[in-house]
A = this chain, B = another copy of it.
Amino acid sequence: MTTAREQQVLDRIERARRRKAHVKDEHITLCHGAGGKATQTLIEAVFLDAFDNPALAPLADGAVIADTHAFTTDSYVVTPLFFPGGDIGDLAVNGTVNDLAMCGARPVCLSAGFILEEGFPVADLRRITTSMAAAARTAGVHIVTGDTKVVQRGKADGCYITTTGLGAFHHDIRPGARMARPGDAVIVSGPVGDHGITIMLARGELDIEADTVSDTAALAGLVDDLLTACGPHLHTLRDPTRGGVATVLNEITATTQLAAVLDEDTIPVRPAVRGACELLGIDPLYVACEGRLLALVAPEATQTALSTLHAHPLGQDATVIGHLTDDPPGLVLLRTTFGGTRIVDLLVGDPLPRIC
């Protein structure tokens, strides 16, 4: 399937990947927070090295505790704080609810830690907490504990929020990257890139007008329906946030040493998002969603998964965008609209920083 020259390239990629993670930079850069290669290296070389333990090792969206509970945390530093379709508050609640859902768990409770900047308008804080409360209500979860710190003017961009979620398993299924199998369909629950592009445009630094809205939403109900309908045929769930679909699939193929082969033509991207991506020179496959999921499903359950997704308001545009194969191990390939095939690798950084 691969020519000798292609094999040489693949071997070189493979050798590079096998190297022990090592942070070459002496200082943190924005790339380290982008969710791509630099973030992975930092996590493996610093955090995993220091905190090594069985629950942390899979580096999934959340940790599985005693096989009964899931536990996950995310810090939110999105700028601007308010954007079309949401704000840092519902983003923080939905993001943590979704990380629990991707483990196959239903949210039990959330915590919220606020770091506020001196001078931040109390009215803005109230708007954020109101939006968090509404998002929590929609997801059927309570924010049961919290903390507030204030830092001096000029720090913290108004408000940073860290949400942590505890979830409980109601099914026997523990979807995860390691469950993915050759032949699995790669399903995305809706158009990609809406959130990232919306944030980028909301900053007003670009002279682009587009009518985009963040897709931020809690996927707990959708996942519950999928787990019930597909059972153990539902192998892997991930939400393509920082780094988008491309990054999530690269993490899965790196874990499983399978390949993901995507068809560019089938990947749903709204025209306004595609247009903005073209003007910005960004591939929508790397742009964050905050209310979409990727599901890897056994072939025999693909139709069930699709019809379950289509029956839910958050999955109406769900579609199969590719499948997993044995070869070439560890890579994500894209069959382009023009008939070629290219490798979709991890980026070092992110063209869109601070979108969550």
Contact assessment for A55 and B133 in the assembled complex, using a CB-CB cutoff below 8 Å: no
Contact check, B108 vs A65: say whether CB atoms are below 8 A apart: yes
Residues of B within 8 A of A51 (CB): 112, 129, 132-133, 136, 142-143, 146
Distance A113 CA – B69 CA, assembled complex (angstroms): 19
The closest CB in chain B to the CB of A34 belongs to B150
Give Cα A132 to B112, complex, Å: 21
Complex contacts, A26 vs chain B, CB 8 Å = 121-123
Nearest-CB distance from A138 to chain B (Å)? 14
* Contact yes or no, B73 A113, CB < 8 A: yes
Q: Which of A29, A74, A151, A356 has the most CB of B within 10 A?
A: A151
Segment with Cβ contacts to B, from A152-160, A202-210, A307-315: A152-160
Query: What's the nearest-Cβ distance from chain B to residue A95, in Å?
Result: 10
Q: Which of A66, A75, A112, A133 has the most CB of B within 10 A?
A: A75
Smallest CB–CB gap between A307 and chain B, Å?
Answer: 33
Q: Which residues of B contact A142 (CB under 8 A)?
A: 51, 53, 55-56
Contacts of A257 in B (CB 8 A): none
Whether A148 lies near B33 (C-beta < 8 A) is: yes
Within 8 A of B (CB), among A73-111: 73-77, 108-109, 111
CA distance A111 to B26 in the complex (A): 25
B122 touches A28 (CB 8 A): yes
The contact size tier of chain A is 35 or more
Nearest B-chain residue to A148, judged by Cβ: B33
Closest CB in chain B relative to A16 CB, distance in Å: 20
> Are A116 and B33 within 8 A (Cβ)?
yes
Q: Would you give the shortest CB distance from A61 to chain B, in whole angstroms? A: 8
Whether the Cβ atoms of B116 and A150 lie closer than 8 Å is no
- A130 adjacent to B50 (CB under 8 Å): yes
Please report the C-alpha to C-alpha distance between residue A309 and residue B240 in the assembled complex, in whole angstroms: 50
Q: A155 and B157: CB pair below 8 A?
A: yes
- The answer to whether the Cβ of A6 comes within 8 Å of any Cβ in the partner chain is no
**A11-38 interface bits toward B, Cβ cutoff 8 Å, 1 = contact, 0 = none:** 0000000000001011111111110000
Q: List 23 A-B contacts (CB under 8 A).
A: A28-B116, A30-B152, A32-B116, A33-B148, A46-B129, A50-B133, A51-B112, A51-B146, A53-B143, A55-B109, A55-B142, A56-B142, A56-B144, A63-B145, A71-B109, A71-B111, A71-B144, A75-B148, A75-B149, A111-B164, A113-B162, A151-B354, A160-B160
Name A residues whose Cβ lies closer than 8 Å to a Cβ of B.
23, 25-34, 39, 42-43, 46-47, 49-51, 53, 55-56, 62-63, 65-66, 69, 71-77, 108-109, 111-123, 125-126, 129-130, 132-133, 136, 142-152, 154-157, 160, 162, 164, 166, 353-354, 356
6 closest pairs, A vs B, by CB? A33-B150, A164-B164, A162-B162, A73-B111, A50-B129, A63-B144
